[in-house]
């Protein structure tokens, strides 16, 4: 006899099941609704891409690329990776389909699974889901430079307004938007050097990770959650004091534009993002009830990324919402109500009643009601018990008497009350 093997979902992955999937669908549907009102169209890029696409855009020194990607050699030996995020794919698609020739900027959103080999914990999975959006704008002749600042800042602010409108539509009010500017090619390298010099002075007071990052990526030290490092980090130089004139103007205009739109935010000078391609505007949204993994959304501006991937010079900004964490947060906040059970359970007995039951089930379903129709005849007692277990709102009782008189019995399961209806009366009643 062959040994019985129990299969289980791979560590860090999970099955999303009803009724939770109803909430997932509601969240994605809300994103579609809100984002389309801001002029976004949906893109569905593939789930795997050439490894090089991610290496070049996200950066070789990042944890995502150096440790966390699921990479394998395809049969023809090209290295491919499951996508750890989708911004690189969207930029690749923008270039591949010549979207620079469309009216600019191009606004795209996506939803779908991402893959990172991280240590699983609450709110952190190896297959997780993101809802993201990107605004990409090819630079036309004569464009670029200081005169674009008001337009760029307005685009950033509108994207953030849309994000907050999305959370508001979901009635998730406990979210907090944090913003920062991390400068650009002009001013950031000088700040990073200054930061490195300051960090070297306090090196032996820092933990191992931060010590390593002094070399590889000093900005990431600001991200540290290590208790013992907090007092030291508080004394480090702040990028806001070292922005070049254009970056400072962009950041000031962004804040003015957010005020104009009534978007509330908190400035967080320690907010640097883990991926290499960001510049100027960076932001994060945190939510309550998630423990240490409390970031539900991250994003920023990435002018130059499209060019880095072989396209015409272009600007860009985008975000990715962690849908798994958003769902957790909605559940914690008690905003996860989704219809459960059935609207109507049809308790029928007898061959003539079955014909009517089949017909009325179809009519009700066409009207959008969730209907349970038992496949075979059952005793009323059993059938009503089953209706209860399924969380049905009503039981429609169709026996010989009901069919003969044309007066059908509708039982409200919550209180056991019963009312007689003709078929048209029943439909009117259920439609409210």
**Of these, 23, 27, 40, 85, which contacts ligand AMP (CB under 6 A)?**
85
Query: If 0-12 CB within 10 Å is exposed, 13-18 middle and 19+ buried, where does residue 156 land?
Result: buried
**Of these, 154, 165, 295, 308, which contacts ligand AMP (CB under 6 A)?**
295
Please state the closest distance from residue 132 (CB atom) to ligand AMP, in A: 8
Nearer to ligand AMP, 130 or 392 (CB): 130
| Residue 156 binding ligand AMP, by CB under 6 A | no
Instruction: Compute CA 281 distance to the chain's CA centroid, rounded to the nearest angstrom.
Output: 20
**Of these, 184, 246, 303, 324, which contacts ligand AMP (CB under 6 A)?**
324
Nearer to ligand AMP, 218 or 322 (CB): 322
Radius of gyration of the chain (CA): 28
Q: Classify the C-alpha dihedral 302-305-307-312 as positive or negative.
A: negative
Q: How many helices (H) and strands (E) does the chain have?
A: 15, 16
Distance CA 345, CA 370 (A): 9
Distance CA 13, CA 26 (A): 22
Nearer to ligand AMP, 294 or 425 (CB): 294
Residues 6+ apart with CB under 8 A from 30: 166, 169, 170
Torsion angle (degrees, nearest 10) of CA 106, 111, 112, 117: 80
**Of these, 136, 155, 254, 297, which contacts ligand AMP (CB under 6 A)?**
297
Which residue is nearest to ligand AMP, using beta carbons?
Answer: 322
Please state the closest distance from residue 421 (CB atom) to ligand AMP, in A: 49
- Total site size for ligand AMP, rule CB under 6 A: 17
Nearer to ligand AMP, 116 or 342 (CB): 116
Interface region with ligand AMP, contact rule CB under 6 A, candidates 292-300, 306-314, 333-341, 393-401: 292-300
One character per residue 325-364, x = contact with ligand AMP (rule: CB under 6 A) = x---------------------------------------
**Of these, 322, 348, 394, 410, which contacts ligand AMP (CB under 6 A)?**
322
Please state the closest distance from residue 182 (CB atom) to ligand AMP, in A: 14
Any alpha helices (H) in 266-391, and if so which ranges?
Answer: 305-308, 323-332, 351-366, 380-389
**Of these, 57, 62, 81, 130, which contacts ligand AMP (CB under 6 A)?**
130
Distance CA 346, CA 383 (A): 9
Strand order in the sheet with 41-42: 41-42, 106-115, 127-138, 314-322, 295-301, 279-286, 176-181, 266-267
Please state the closest distance from residue 11 (CB atom) to ligand AMP, in A: 12
Q: Which of residues 256-275 bind ligand AMP (CB under 6 A)?
A: 274
Please state the closest distance from residue 57 (CB atom) to ligand AMP, in A: 12
Please state the closest distance from residue 114 (CB atom) to ligand AMP, in A: 7
Query: CA of 212: how far to CAs of 64, 129, 203, 208, 378, in Å?
Result: 16, 30, 10, 6, 70
**Of these, 135, 149, 243, 296, which contacts ligand AMP (CB under 6 A)?**
296
> Which run of H or of E encompasses 132?
strand 127-138
Please state the closest distance from residue 359 (CB atom) to ligand AMP, in A: 47
| 171 φψ region: left (φ > 0), alpha (ψ -120 to 50), beta (else) | left
Phi–psi pair at 80, nearest 5 degrees: -120, 155
Nearer to ligand AMP, 125 or 394 (CB): 125
Q: Which residues of 25-40 are buried (b: 16+ CB within 10 A; e: fewer)?
A: ebbeeebeebbeebeb
Q: Which of residues 109-128 bind ligand AMP (CB under 6 A)?
A: 116, 118, 123-125, 128
Distance CA 159, CA 128 (A): 23
Please state the closest distance from residue 52 (CB atom) to ligand AMP, in A: 19
Nearer to ligand AMP, 123 or 316 (CB): 123
Interface region with ligand AMP, contact rule CB under 6 A, candidates 152-160, 189-197, 289-297, 341-349: 289-297
Please state the closest distance from residue 3 (CB atom) to ligand AMP, in A: 34
CB of 307 closer than 8 Å to CB of 93? no
Binding site for ligand AMP (CB under 6 A): 85, 116, 118, 123-125, 128, 130, 274, 295-298, 320, 322, 324-325
């Amino acid at each position: 006899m062959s040994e019985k093997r129990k299969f289980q979902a791979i560590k860090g992955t999970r099955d999303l099941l009803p009724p939770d999937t109803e909430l997932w669908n509601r969240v994605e549907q809300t994103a579609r609704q809100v984002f389309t009102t801001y002029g976004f169209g949906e893109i569905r890029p593939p789930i795997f891409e050439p490894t090089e696409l991610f290496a070049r855009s996200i950066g070789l020194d990042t944890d995502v690329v150096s440790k966390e990607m699921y990479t394998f050699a395809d049969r023809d030996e090209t290295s491919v990776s499951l996508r750890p995020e989708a911004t690189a794919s969207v930029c690749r698609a923008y270039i591949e389909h010549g979207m620079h020739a469309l009216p600019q900027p191009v606004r795209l959103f996506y939803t779908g699974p991402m893959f990172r080999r991280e240590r699983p914990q609450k709110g952190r999975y190896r297959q997780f889901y993101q809802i993201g959006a990107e605004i990409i704008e090819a630079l036309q002749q004569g464009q670029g430079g200081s005169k674009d600042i008001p337009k760029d800042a307005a685009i950033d602010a509108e994207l953030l307004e849309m994000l907050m409108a999305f959370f508001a539509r979901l009635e998730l009010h406990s979210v907090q938007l944090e913003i920062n500017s991390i400068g650009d090619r002009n001013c950031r390298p000088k700040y990073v050097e200054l930061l490195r010099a300051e960090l070297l002075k306090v090196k032996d007071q820092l933990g191992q990770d931060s010590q390593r990052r002094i070399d590889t990526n000093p900005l990431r030290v600001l991200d540290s959650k290590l208790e013992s490092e907090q007092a030291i980090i508080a004394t480090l130089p702040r990028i806001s004091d070292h922005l070049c004139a254009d970056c400072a103007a962009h950041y000031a205009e962004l804040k003015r534009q957010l005020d104009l739109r009534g978007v509330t935010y908190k400035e967080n000078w320690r907010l640097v993002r883990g991926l290499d391609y960001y510049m100027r505007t960076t932001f994060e949204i945190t939510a309550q009830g998630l423990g240490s993994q409390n970031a539900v959304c991250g994003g920023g501006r990435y002018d130059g990324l499209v060019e880095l991937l072989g396209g015409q010079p272009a600007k860009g900004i985008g975000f990715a919402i962690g849908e798994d964490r958003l769902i957790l947060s909605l559940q914690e906040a008690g905003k996860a109500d989704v219809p459960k059970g059935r609207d109507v359970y049809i308790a029928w007995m007898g061959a003539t009643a079955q014909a009517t039951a089949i017909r009325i089930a179809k009519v009700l379903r066409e009207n959008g009601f969730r209907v349970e129709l038992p496949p075979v005849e059952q005793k009323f007692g059993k059938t009503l018990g089953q209706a209860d277990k399924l969380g049905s709102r009503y039981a429609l009782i169709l026996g010989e008497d009901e069919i003969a008189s044309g007066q059908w019995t509708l039982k409200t399961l919550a209180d056991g009350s019963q009312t007689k209806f003709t078929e048209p009366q029943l439909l009117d009643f259920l439609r409210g």
